[in-house]
Amino acid sequence: MTEVGYASDKPSDCAYCYFFSAGRKKCKRKECFYRISSPPLRRKVTHWEPCEGCPYGKHTPCLGYCIVKAMKEVKEHRNTG
């Protein structure tokens, strides 16, 4: 659920707003310029099991070869050397 609020510099009446059209007697924008809403909650990203922990497999599985195996081998080589 997103909370809706307004900026502190919002005019007391829409007639004093820069975006208010006096001729049409309504706002030029679809949504109030001064409206503040909290960002929507992000969905949890699901990882494919073999790509768990792989920065390249966050959204799709690795193509061609598995980078997770290569990264593990490099880390093991650095730790033993």
**Is residue 60 over pLDDT 80?**
no
Residues 6+ apart with CB under 8 A from 21: 27, 28
Q: Which sequence spans correspond to the domains of the chain?
A: 1-37, 41-80
Q: How does residue 36 score in pLDDT terms, banded at 50, 70 and 90?
A: confident
Q: Report the alpha-carbon distance of residue 15 to residue 27 in Å, rounded.
A: 9
Residues 6 or more apart whose CB falls under 8 angstroms from that of 58 comprise 45, 47, 51
Query: Burial of 66 by CB count in 10 Å (0-12 exposed, 13-18 middle, 19+ buried)?
Result: middle
Please tell me the pTM assigned to this model.
0.41
At 73 the pLDDT is: 82
Model pLDDT for residues 1-34, shown as the tens digit of each residue: 556 788 999 999 999 999 999 898 899 998 899 9
